[in-house]
Structure 1
Amino acid sequence: MGDVTIEAGTGTALNETLEALLNSHAEDAGLPFVVDNFYWKATESSGDVIGGLSAKTMLGWLYVELLALAPNARGSGVGAKLLERAEAHARDLGLAGVYLDTYEFQAPGFYAKCGYTEIGRLPAADGAPQRIWYAKPLA
């Protein structure tokens, strides 16, 4: 292999290269690593964005990458509606389910209330908060 140099890369182009490498490896195992990105936003009647959800599909699951709400939208049911929309999309695609993560100070109770089951934790360490993963298989 020779000398190897490690240096900073650029976002989108490098990410596409990495996804292609992962897809090639996954195809060898019969599991294509196809990544498709999806976005949904929640707006008020004024047109103001009060929240949204970004997700991607990988290996038969939908991963909720980001779910965020404006402070005035929290506790209003908007977050649950965004999750329901993502779950419906996953069902339409025939995916196995939805998974996501949150931090201990964010919304673990919310995800449990929405039917998600905890599947793992990254412990709090050196001032970094605990990260919690959840999944919801779709039958």
Structure 2
Amino acid sequence: MTVAFEIERIDGADPALPDAVDAILDDAAAALGRPFEGLRVHLRVRDSDGNLLGGLVGAHLQRWFFVKLLAVSPEARGSGIGSLLLRKAEAIARDEGLVGIYLDTFEFQAPRFYVREGYQEIGRLPKVGDAPQRIWFAKQFNSSGSKE
């Protein structure tokens, strides 16, 4: 079967596109007997005036918790907020019976932070020119809910 199509570059002009592409992937995974859990988790930390000090955006993916975003505002860095957000995500993942957490960062961001938090490097993109390396980390839980 031949289908006529055109590839169109949108550059952020269609906010509905990411959800539509997610739906295609979700349907394909479900058809293979591996439906995505789909539960999204958002955590935020605000000061007494309501200013955002940090946050974490994650999701359940095939029994793992994926941390898509973790950030702490410049004025709150070094206060322990990043560690607290990560520990809260770990607690949620354990409580919900997930097998562990994985995430990525760039070499100029926080790889030492994740190692300090007990994460192990599981992969990286090769260094090419001045492009920063992207590094993936994971922490797998054992059956008692602690790290292995």
TM-score, with length taken from structure 2: 0.84
Amino acid at match of 2:9: A
Is the Cα contact below 8 Å between 1:44 and 1:50 reproduced in 2? yes
The answer to whether structure 1 residue 129 and structure 2 residue 132 are counterparts is: yes
Match of 2:67 in 1: 64
- Percent pairwise identity: 47
Amino acid at match of 1:4: F
Instruction: Render the CA deviation track for 1:55-84: whole Å, top value 9, x for unaligned.
Output: 112211111111111122222211000001
Match of 2:52 in 1: 49
Taking the aligned partners of 2:3 and 2:45, their CA distance within structure 1 comes to 51
Which of 56-65 and 103-112 deviates more? 56-65
Aligned length: 139
Taking the aligned partners of 1:127 and 1:138, their CA distance within structure 2 comes to 35
Match of 1:7 in 2: 8
Match of 2:22 in 1: 19
Match of 2:101 in 1: 98
| 1:106 Cα offset (Å) | 0.8
Instruction: Render the CA deviation track for 1:29-78: whole Å, top value 9, x for unaligned.
Output: 32112322211111223332111111112211111111111122222211
> CA separation of 1:11/1:87 partners in 2, compared to 1, >3 Å: closer, same or farther?
farther
Q: Which runs of structure 1 show a deviation greater than 6 angstroms over 4 or more consecutive aligned residues?
A: none
| 1:11 Cα offset (Å) | 4.4
Q: SS of the residue aligned with 2:16?
A: helix
Residue ranges of structure 1 left out of the alignment (5+ in a row): none
Over the aligned positions, Cα root-mean-square deviation in angstroms equals 1.7
Which of 81, 86, 106 aligns to 1:83? It is 86
TM-score, with length taken from structure 1: 0.89
Taking the aligned partners of 2:23 and 2:50, their CA distance within structure 1 comes to 37
Q: SS of the residue aligned with 2:21?
A: helix
Q: SS of the residue aligned with 1:27?
A: helix
Which of 5-14 and 121-130 deviates more? 5-14
